[in-house]
Structure 1
Amino acid sequence: MTALSETPAAANEIFRSDDVVVRRIAAGDTSRWVVTFDHYAIGHGFDRPGFGEAYFQAQGVSAIHVMGRGDDWYQYADMEAALATVRAATAGATRVLTYGSSMGGYAALRFADAVGATDALALSPQYSIDPKVAVHERRWSQDFHRIRWRPELSGPISTSARAVVIYDPTSPDRWHGERIAQDIAIDAIRLPYTAHPVTTYLSDTNLLGPLIASLLAGDFDARALRREARRLRAANGIYLGELAAAQPRRRVATALSLARRALAVSPGGYHAQVSLARLLSQEGQHDEALAILAAVVQQSDRTLTYVIDHANAFMAAGRTAEARIIADEALARAPDVAHLHAWAAHICWLNGDLSDARSLIRGALRLDPSNQTYLRAAIDYHFGAPHMERSRGVQVTPWLRLVRWIMRSPLRVDSSETERRPSLFRRRHGESASDSAG
């Protein structure tokens, strides 16, 4: 671990260890600081921008970026030392705002006092993903079992900062928002059908920048933001797409109408296009669904989450050989993601590649050995084909539960961020990063 370097090339780096780097970038006004924390899958290592780094530089906002070496919810032995460095670097500031989305929101709340924050902005935060605490949380299964949860970094939340917590109460984030409110007083802004993370909806409606500016200025109005966010949703593709997906099967006409309206108000929006394609695929309108997804994959420069959607649409259409080709691509790009191995195993089984299916499900178990779904799948594949049944004329299996679980996993959970930041998953493979605020 090192203090502030004397060398010009590292002048902005005020803390470094094997696990944490803290980067300080001062703008003209150093009486107000934003302290950011990375979200899940922003990238491993430290040769990358911090969360929102380019945005804050462009806006002339002084920022400090706290960067962990991986998706570890900041459970590092030297985390407290890193936070103390941040506090020293902002000493005397009028306002210090911690800011993060999802995993970063977890940190923005929990570490606000440690950095001397006056305010904390947490977008779709987790209270915890420790399985001993969040017993119903399954979105980060591969991570929460391997992380060593440190009581000093993951216990009850305590902060004197004004905490603004914004989340979608129709998603699994509801439990986290309500649990956070049991520990601390928060300005809770609940925005239904805005997905995880709500960061994308706020950015898409041009509310995110003004929100951050108002917190730094000390004149944030929670009621005004809540009112404006809800006013704008009727003409927003993310909201309409999520609302369409939430419709029960008996209201399929309503769901399709909402999804087409989402596309009409957001014709270039990936979220709206994918929402419609999923519904079309579900209803057997495979040609249109596949055409939409093929265009999204191309336009997004083959962003991984949309590549996965494309394969799922091929599976629904019974075109498993084409789905298998895409599954191989996905695995080559993200070989360390357990649920992709399980997903690819199912595709291989349906395509008749039984040996590959068994090998892939064992790979999922090696990456996430505590996952009971994978264990049941491994047993099932070993002893025989998964049970088949017919539903609405489409061949399905109990493995649809696995597919649905996969779609709730981090690759799906954070996929809405690609609406503004299509490089979300490409970052993990050394490709370009985004310049947005988050």
Structure 2
Amino acid sequence: MLVYSDDYLEVIHRPASSSCILVTFNEMEMQANGSRFWGQRFCEKADFAALGFISRRPNWFPAASIEKAAAATAAILRQASERILYGHSQGGYAALRYRLLLNADVAIAFCPQLSIDPAAVPFDGRFTRHFAPALHADMEIMPEHAAGRAYVFYDPFHAVDRMHAEWIAEKQRETRLLPVHMTGHGTVRAFAGTARGLALIESCRADDVPGLRALARSVRTGAAMRPYQVALTAIARHPAWADRLSARFGNGFSSVERVNFLYHRANRHIRDGELATARDLLVEAMALQPNNLGPARRLQELDARIVRTSRT
């Protein structure tokens, strides 16, 4: 049932018999359509009462809209014995930023950002195109936004996500960092499935950090993204090993993963002076995703370098 809507987000209420309520926030790839919310399938299978906050576009849940939505849903939140905030990436940001506003007992965040304001996070340019000063004034996660306990799951080999996680933990009290190695920015997907999701939530509710660490170790070994992440990470120091992993597991990479691997492997070839090999990989990446500007621009730069090199 739609209980709030404005130009930036919607809130969907799913009643259920559970005494606690799961408050979810979507990642940027999902957008509001009037009836669905992030985590809906899990809530239906586990029969969780839920409030699903879902953005109309990648907007990092502007505070003005969330404050109005919080007022509109205050009665629903008060009826719950426990409020669990849950989100990934932009949703993970919201789960931490609005802990106090929504009176959270527990917040579970996967790969969250401290902010997308380039002045606040100069080390991360991934999402700055979505930053709008009029919407995102003072959007940085701060100590005064904390309530209850928070659990941040991230891949420590993903340097940018690690920096966000560490900065957030420094700012917000009662925040536990839970590394999930070789899952990249898709850490949440390692916990897919009703049984895993329930185990995760119950361990967070119980503040069972050893249990959460054991769960993280268990899910990462069979995570679908693990071969890709290991291969990608190996490029920097063990490129031959990365090539062997790509040859063995590359058919299982998604198109996005394949293009990203080719792009970064080409960059390593360029660094090693193997320009022709790098060019072949960039051409392959462009064939897989013709509209991806990254490989196209890199190929243009490389061709210019090859021309300059041939003239000397």
- TM-score bracket for this pair, using the shorter chain length: 0.7 to 0.9
Measure how far apart 1:260 and its partner are.
Answer: 5.8
Give 1:32-431 correspondences, 5 Å limit. 32-43=20-31, 45-47=32-34, 49-75=36-62, 77-144=64-131, 148-151=135-138, 153-154=139-140, 156-157=142-143, 158-171=145-158, 172-185=160-173, 186-203=175-192, 207-215=196-204, 218-248=205-235, 251-259=238-246, 269-270=252-253, 274=257, 278=261, 282=265, 316=281, 318=283, 323=287, 327=290, 330=291, 340=292, 342-343=293-294, 346=297, 386-388=304-306
Cα distance, 1:79–1:219 mapped onto 2, change above 3 Å: closer
**Could you tell me whether the CA contact under 8 Å between 1:100 and 1:107 is conserved in 2?**
yes
Percent identity between the two aligned chains: 25
* Aligned residue number for residue 415 of structure 1: none
1:99, distance to aligned residue in structure 2 (A): 0.5
Change (3 A) 1:59 1:180: same
Q: Which residue of 2 aligns with 1:286?
A: none
Once the two structures are TM-superposed, the CA of residue 388 in structure 1 deviates from its matched residue by 2.7
Q: Show CA shifts across 1:51-108 (max 9, x none).
A: 1112212221100011222211112533212122333212142211011000000000
Report the AA paired with residue 213 of structure 2.
R
Which segments of 5 or more consecutive residues in structure 1 lack a partner in the other structure?
A: 1-11, 284-312, 331-339, 351-376, 378-384, 396-438
- TM score, norm. by length of structure 1: 0.58
Displacement of 1:279 in angstroms is: 6.2
Deviations 1:181-227 (A, max 9, x none): 11112111012221103101222796334212444xx3242212212
Aligned mates of 1:230, 1:326 — CA distance in 2: 34
Q: Per-residue deviation at 1:109? A: 0.7
Measured against aligned partners, the alpha-carbon deviations of 1:378-430 in whole angstroms (never above 9, x if no partner) come to: xxxxxxx7333699xxx9xxxxxxxxxxxxxxxxxxxxxxxxxxxxxxxxxxx
- Report the secondary structure of 1:125's partner residue: coil
Partner of 2:271: none
What secondary structure sits across from 2:185 in the alignment? coil
Over 3 Å counting, the alpha-carbon distance change for 1:229 and 1:140 in structure 2 is same
Q: Distance in 1 between matches of 2:308 and 2:219?
A: 41
| TM-score, reference length from structure 2 | 0.79
SS at match of 1:40: coil
Aligned to 1:14: 3
Read off the aligned partner of 2:304 and give its amino acid letter: P
Tell me the distance in 2 between the aligned counterparts of 1:388 and 1:146. 41
Cα distance between partner residues in 1 of 2:85 and 2:123: 27
* Secondary structure at 1:78 match in 2: helix
Q: State the distance in 1 between where 2:210 and 2:247 align.
A: 31
Q: Are the equivalent residues in 2 in contact too, given 1:237–1:262 (CA < 8 A)?
A: no
Q: Is the 8 A contact 2:85 2:107 kept in 1?
A: yes
- 1:26 is matched with 15
Q: Is the 8 A contact 1:256 1:279 kept in 2?
A: no
Structure 2: stretches of 5+ with no match in the other structure: 267-277
Aligned-partner residue type, residue 123 of structure 1: F
Q: Is the 8 A contact 2:100 2:146 kept in 1?
A: yes
In 2, Cα distance between the equivalents of 1:76 and 1:249?
39
Check the 8 A contact 1:260/1:276 in 2, yes or no: no
- Hey, what's the Cα distance between the residues in 1 that align with 2:202 and 2:192? 13
Contact 2:14/2:50 (<8 A) preserved? yes
Contact 2:2 2:35 in 1 (8 A): no
Q: Is contact 1:105-1:125 (8 Å) kept? A: yes
